[in-house]
Structure formats: structure tokens, C-alpha cells
Amino acid sequence: MDVLILIMLKEHTLQDRGTIPLDNSIEDVDVDVGHVGGCFNWESNDHPISIKCLPPPGSPRAISMASSSEHPQTPTFTDLNLTYPPSLEHYNIPAATWLMKNAKSWDGLATSALVFSPSTTCSKILLVQRTAHDSMPLLWETPGGGVDPDDTSLLVACARELWEETGLQAVEFVRVVSEGVNEEPGSVFTNRTGTKVFCRFAFEVKVRGAVEGEDVEGRIRTDPGEHCDYVWASEEEVREGRAGLKELPLANGQMKRLILDGFRRRT
């Protein structure tokens, strides 16, 4: 059994949005509040994943991860440190803890990973296409999904979803993005039945290989149960809804705004 103690360096408040769009990609994500032992302590009795912050204040943080029994396909991250800047410290906590600290009554949290190509001439973002038999059939999105109760933080959940959906291993979280200028991070949406409300946080993520200057664009391994295709699209292609011969209808306007804000913050 691993016991995790989290140190909260600062609080983050997210204002509620007036409009809550529908997102069919999440239906049965629940946050188990019973996992929370308090605002500053969290303990898991049935999950061998651990996370800890090592560097001193003011320097980039690092997350040490171990593989998960709930997600056996996840690689062993024991030797991999996920680094992130101090500005993302308040996302390095479990979903239930985040909801409690921020006094939110949402049914859960979700994450999206914005992965950009290492090209210096034309930056492109990785998009995956939903399968024809799933909800929102054949629409395009960034890799991501709901934060599970046993994910030790939002950052870990984002890295896990990225691996499960693309085979890419996150090594560095760069920043959180929003839906545009002067917008707070966090996009509120409902499940397909409209009975549950969630909030998605989207992060720009660097992956193993790209950081070292390797070509990772052809290494994508999609999960056929969730996605049937992928593409690397430029900002112009996202705006036009087409990359070469491929039409790129995005899952919703919220997704498009997050992607375009990701491009904006890189300039």
C-alpha cells in the first residue's frame, strides 16, 4: 500500500460558466469522495500508483509514477519523471481533492493533452478521430478523458489517457490552456444524457522522443475501441476543418477553442 501526502502551495478558483455544452464522450465517470482523507492528505489502499514532488519551491516540479493495476496496459513509469512548472502545482492533486478545495459540486473532472509536433517551421497538433460506433462518431478531438478515482492527480490522469489513446509517453507539462484570451482554465460540459456535469482541463504536453528531437509523428498507436485515425494538423488546418484530403470536423466548439488557444499560447 502506498500513502500519498500532497502539499498544496496555492489555491485556484475557477468561476462557473454560464453555458454548459454537451459532450457525449463521458458517460460513467464518477469521483469517489471516499478516497479523500482531507485537504492535504490523500491515501489509496487499492492502487499502487504513487506521485511526489521533489524540487525546491520555485523550480520545475517532478512527478514519479509507478504502473497501475487498474490500467495494465500502462507502461511502468518508475524511471520516468513528469516535470511541470510551479504554476501547475494545484493540478497535481486527485480530482476529489481538487473539487473539495475549490468547493465545486461537479460530478467529476476530465483532461485533454495538447501534443504539438517538434517541427520549428510549422507547428502541428495531434488530433485523433473517434470511432464510427462510439458517441460523437468520426469527430476529431485531442487525446484525453475522465480522471479516474484512482488517478493520483489530474496530471497523472492526463499522462495515462495520452498513453492509452496514442502510445505516447508524456514527460513534461508545459502549461494549462483555456478557451481563449482572458478565459480561466476549465471547460464545463455534460455527459451524453445531460445528467452529469464535468469540467475539462487541457494541458500542453511534451512527449518522450520529441523532447530529444526525434520524429514522433509516425509513432501513434490508437486504441481501435476509441479512435480510428489520427492526424497532425496546423492551426490553419484546424480553422479550415481540413488537413490535406481529410475533413476535420471537431467534437464541438469548446474543443476547437481549446486547440486554438493552445496555438496562441505558443507564439
The three-state (H, E, C) secondary structure of 64-125, written as one string: ECCCCCCCCCCCCCCCCEEEECHHHHHHCCCHHHHHHHCCCCCCEEEEEEECECCCCCCCEE
The predicted model gives 84-98 an average pLDDT of: 97
The answer for residues whose C-beta is within 8 angstroms of residue 29's C-beta and 6 or more apart is 107, 108, 110, 145, 146, 147, 148, 191, 196, 198
Cell numbers placing 107: 460530478
pLDDT confidence of residue 219 = 87
Q: pLDDT higher for 65 or 28?
A: 65
Would you give the distance in Å from CA 76 to the centre of its chain?
19
pLDDT confidence of residue 118 = 82
pLDDT confidence of residue 230 = 97
Q: For residue 145, which phi and psi values (nearest 5 degrees)?
A: 170, -170
Residue 11 has pLDDT above 60, yes or no: no
The answer for residues whose C-beta is within 8 angstroms of residue 66's C-beta and 6 or more apart is 2, 48, 49, 50, 76, 77, 78
Distance in angstroms (rounded) separating the CA atoms of residues 35 and 54? 24
Residue percentage of the chain with pLDDT more than 70: 68
Q: How many helices (H) and strands (E) does the chain have?
A: 4, 14
Q: Which amino acid is at 71?
A: H
Distance in angstroms (rounded) separating the CA atoms of residues 138 and 36? 37
Q: pLDDT higher for 63 or 80?
A: 63
Name the band, by pLDDT with cuts 50, 70 and 90, for residue 262.
very high
Q: Domains along the chain?
A: 2-8+20-266 (3.90.79.10)
Q: pLDDT higher for 263 or 134?
A: 263
Residue 137 has pLDDT above 80, yes or no: yes
